[in-house]
Amino acid sequence: MIRLLAAGAVLAAAGAVVAFVLLLRAPGPPRPTPVTVTLEEGERFADVAEDLRRQGVLRHPLALVVWARLTRQDRAVHWGEYWITTPLSPLELLARLTGPPDPVHQLTVAEGLTVRQVVQLLAASGFGAEESFLCLLEDPTFLASEDLPPAGAEGYLFPDTYQFPLATPQERILRTMVHRFREIFGPSLARRAGAQGLTEEQAVTLASLVEEETARPEERRLVAAVFLNRLHRGMPLQSDPTVLYGRADASRTITRADLARPTPYNTYTISGLPPTPIANPGKDALEAALDPAPVDYLYFVARGDGSHEFSTTLAAHHAAVVRYQRAHHQRPERSP
């Protein structure tokens, strides 16, 4: 009897081993589309396995965790991103994760680009077709999932340097850029926006004007002050970049007819801020917009060397305009 029990136990153990091996060798779930798996530095392997299950890459995370611990391969996993295109067994998946991650490609998004320019940059860098990105950015479901305005993502694709594998899904790239914006525009900036009487969208719109009006760090808070002072007095902002926004051509020339042409964005013909941001502002422009210089300036005019002269009165502003027009024999580009 004892021998029978022992034999039964041996058979049961052998069966369990066979079942365990079969689990480790069984193909993974079917993959209707490729998926990017991200492993964070310092992440527990048990958490990695559970993430793989949630993403539909792994059926039995426990078997993988046990095997990885028994073989000490849980310590050999590399952090980074892996592009999974076909169903992999747990053993194949473990071999993939202990090998080198997929190479990443650096992407630098400069401050002041529009959404369309960002999309063109993404396409030119090999991350997918412009149409794919634009379809997502025009999808109300995508916009709502990221708590973006129904009008679109203009202003929220944060300028920064990113690293993605070339096969990264377009949706993941866009979400990463929006999440980066959320990291920068946190509770502190939200409180400062409220103190200025601005919503988040209004603050981003104001920052986009600041970004487009001056490239000089020392002028950003002055430009923000001019626009806020004019808003508080009910004066039109008269910002030239708003006249240029949405132009089909790349011309930066502005005529008197352009200034008078009524468009939703032309701050020479509308009151208040434009309906949306006109570019994607960087961190410095966002902070300047919500921390304006304590000045009474209402006007500024381009000197022609990238800097501006600021004035409190219309008379002083007119004098500055005449002075720089004579000096450069052309209409200054920016003179609210």
What's the chain's Rg over C-alpha atoms? Answer: 28
| Residue 162, phi then psi, degrees to nearest 5 | -120, 160
The pLDDT value given to residue 328: 60
Boundary residue ending a domain (151, 184, 217): 184
Do 117 and 82 belong to one domain? no
pLDDT at 50: 92
Write down the pLDDT at residue 335: 46
pLDDT of residue 331: 45
The pTM score is 0.73
Coil vs helix vs strand at 164: strand
Within-domain flag for 191: no
Task: Judge if 177 and 208 occupy the same domain.
Answer: no
Residues 234 and 218 in one domain: yes
Quick check: is 15 in a domain? no
Domain boundary among 184, 219, 237: 184
Cα 134 to Cα 111: distance, rounded to the nearest angstrom: 20
What does pLDDT average to over the chain?
Answer: 87
The pLDDT of residue 325: 75
Q: Per-residue pLDDT tens for 244-257? A: 887 766 667 787 88
The residue among 79, 97, 115 that closes a domain is: 97
> What CATH number corresponds to the domain at position 73?
3.30.1490.480
CA 191 – CA 199 distance, rounded (Å) = 10
Is 84 in the same domain as 119? Answer: no
Q: Name residue 108's beta-bridge partners.
A: 161
- Closest by Cα among 164, 160, 159, 158 to 106: 164
Considering the domain architecture, whether residues 128 and 154 belong to the same structural domain is answered as yes
Same domain? For 163 and 217 the reply is no
- How much is the pLDDT for 13? 55
Q: Is the domain of 171 the same as that of 217?
A: no
Q: Are 280 and 155 in contact (CB under 8 A)?
A: yes
Least Cα distance to 238 among 258, 252, 221 occurs for 258
Containing structural domain, residue 227:
199-328
The reply to whether 277 and 209 lie within a common domain is yes
Q: Which residue ranges in the chain fall short of pLDDT 70?
A: 1-19, 248-251, 327-336
DSSP 33: S
Which structure tokens are listed for 70? 């028994």
Residue with tokens 């194949």: 92
Contact 115, 153 (CB under 8 A): yes
pLDDT of res. 35: 80
Q: Are 177 and 130 in a shared domain?
A: yes
